[in-house]
Amino acid sequence: MTTLILNLVFLFLPFAHPQGAPAESPDTLKDKDRKARQVQLLRERSDRIGAHIAKIRGLPFKGPVKKGIQNKEELRNYLQELMLRKQPKEKMDALARAYAMLGLMPRGIDLSKVVLDLLQQQVAGFYDPETKSLYLINEWNMSQSSIISHELMHALQDQHFDLLSLPMEDDKREDVMNAVRCVIEGEGMLMMFLYVSDKDADVGAFETLLGEGYKSYITALNRGIKMKLDDDSFMSNLGMGGLANVPRVLKEGLILPYMAGLVFVHKAWQRGGWQGVNDLYQDMPQSTEQILHIEKYFDERDRPTVIYIKDPDRLAPEGFNLIYESVLGELYISVLMRDLRGKKASKSSWEGWDGDLYLAFLHPETDKEFCLWSTVWDSEKDAREFAAQYRLAESSRTSRKPEPGVELAIVLEGSEVFIARGHLPRKSLNDLIGRVQKTRVLKEALPIRSKGKVIQKAAKD
């Protein structure tokens, strides 16, 4: 989904593995000592796992990782408070409306409720780079080692590369954030797979079996076989089966960093060992296009084009407020076209993406709205294909559910396509497109680097 949602889920849903029977039961302990003993055992296990993943990764922890161990209800409350503080409901509502304008999300969806509902289902543990702490639930579960190994990998990343120095919360560059998260979560996935499948890992019977599956998947990756992004059975095994009924844009935005991120980071690891992974932090992927087509990162680099408009709020007629500004990227455009066109959607309508800028405006008094979408493509042919397919998508959308008073304007100019849609006369929409054409500036995206830089000679095992 958007940065607003994905950043939350980055904190909230990292590795919500299925709960199950205890790996070790403290039932023989006295009731008054049970909780303290559980916490102590969890801390000791976390320390052992931390030492093990540091050995696998070839990087030591620079210092101890703070651990916050709470019961499930305490952790849920903490996360809910954090979500409401970072992304208040009015901001989430604006986001939902902006996506509904374009067709990326159904009208009237309550995003705050969707995320809170997911929290109720999926809380298990997470690493918070702001507090530098690992938060875990003091309850035993079958996948506890998987959770801990993944989250401690985030702590190790943070100590060496400074995760907060990366654009993980840039809500004006959704696509960039999604791409960056693919490295962060992809490495977490790779480490989890390598750790749980290690013969010396501190795991129970269930995770031993899980490790065999992880080992097979790494072998498949080594041979160039890829898991589909929307493989529901695989995601269910990772504890993300609860995403089945959420909007596709949210579901695929959540899945991408884990599934496609794993494939992407594995490619760097396969080519250059752990140093190859280190190098990613000095030249991060800049778009979901580079994640979905890894040859556009690892072979002939296809850097995206940035579309810049100074003071975009001034484009709108009097009374309209800018409620959303961001880059959608190839992932979200593919979601849009598949949602609107179904099985008729063509990859040719999104695979030539080179850059975009999406703006949504709302008149708070009249409740009228409109959006402006500026896109640039690899070639004029790609631009024509997108424009034609988008017209068909809009036709499908309006035939299914007409929106009275909504007009559409599309302008094709070379390798650029400009779209305006909303409660304004078509002439006014074309005038707005003209303003965008006059004010927008195109430039190549700059490299993305973390503050931390690591050079190591250790080879992958």
At a CB cut-off of 8 Å and minimum separation 6, what does 301 contact?
290
Q: Which pTM was predicted?
A: 0.89
133-137 β-sheet, strand order: 66-70, 133-137, 125-128
**Residues composing the chain:** 461
User: Which of 241, 239, 261, 260 has the alpha carbon at shortest distance from 251?
Assistant: 241
pLDDT truncated to tens, each residue of the chain (461 aa)?
343 333 434 333 433 333 333 444 455 546 657 778 878 888 899 999 999 999 999 999 999 999 888 777 888 788 888 888 888 899 999 999 999 999 999 998 998 888 877 766 666 778 999 999 998 887 766 788 899 999 999 999 999 999 999 998 888 999 999 999 999 999 999 999 999 999 998 888 888 888 888 888 898 888 887 665 455 555 555 555 566 678 999 889 989 999 999 999 999 999 999 999 999 999 999 999 999 999 999 999 999 999 999 999 999 999 999 999 999 999 999 999 999 999 999 999 999 999 999 999 999 999 999 999 999 999 999 999 999 999 999 999 999 999 999 999 999 999 999 999 999 999 999 999 999 999 999 999 999 999 988 887 655 44
Going from the C-alpha of 398 to that of each of 87, 129, 231, the distances in angstroms are 32, 44, 30
| Cβ atoms of residues 93 and 25 within 8 Å | no
| Cβ atoms of residues 195 and 147 within 8 Å | no
Give the per-residue pLDDT at 4: 37
Tokens of 442: 């195109």
In the block, residue with structure tokens 């430039």: 443
Give the per-residue pLDDT at 144: 84
Q: How far apart are CA 253 and CA 325, in angstroms?
A: 18
Q: Which residues are registered as beta bridge partners of 373?
A: 358, 419
| Cβ atoms of residues 185 and 258 within 8 Å | yes
In the block, residue with structure tokens 């609860």: 242
Give the per-residue pLDDT at 42: 86
Give the per-residue pLDDT at 7: 40
Q: How far apart are CA 192 and CA 198, in angstroms?
A: 10
- Environment class of residue 304 by beta-carbon count within 10 Å: exposed (0-12), middle (13-18) or buried (19+)? buried
- Environment class of residue 81 by beta-carbon count within 10 Å: exposed (0-12), middle (13-18) or buried (19+)? exposed
| Cβ atoms of residues 261 and 288 within 8 Å | no
Q: How far apart are CA 155 and CA 61, in angstroms?
A: 8
Q: Where are the domains of the chain?
A: 3-298, 305-444
Give the per-residue pLDDT at 5: 39
| Cβ atoms of residues 125 and 188 within 8 Å | no
| Cβ atoms of residues 16 and 240 within 8 Å | yes
Give the per-residue pLDDT at 15: 38
**CA Rg value for the chain:** 23
| Cβ atoms of residues 8 and 2 within 8 Å | no
At a CB cut-off of 8 Å and minimum separation 6, what does 203 contact?
145, 146, 196, 210, 211
User: Which of 397, 413, 320, 327 has the alpha carbon at shortest distance from 366?
Assistant: 320
Give the per-residue pLDDT at 23: 45
Going from the C-alpha of 48 to that of each of 17, 44, 215, 262, the distances in angstroms are 20, 6, 21, 24
Q: How far apart are CA 351 and CA 291, in angstroms?
A: 12
Give the per-residue pLDDT at 237: 53
Give the per-residue pLDDT at 460: 47
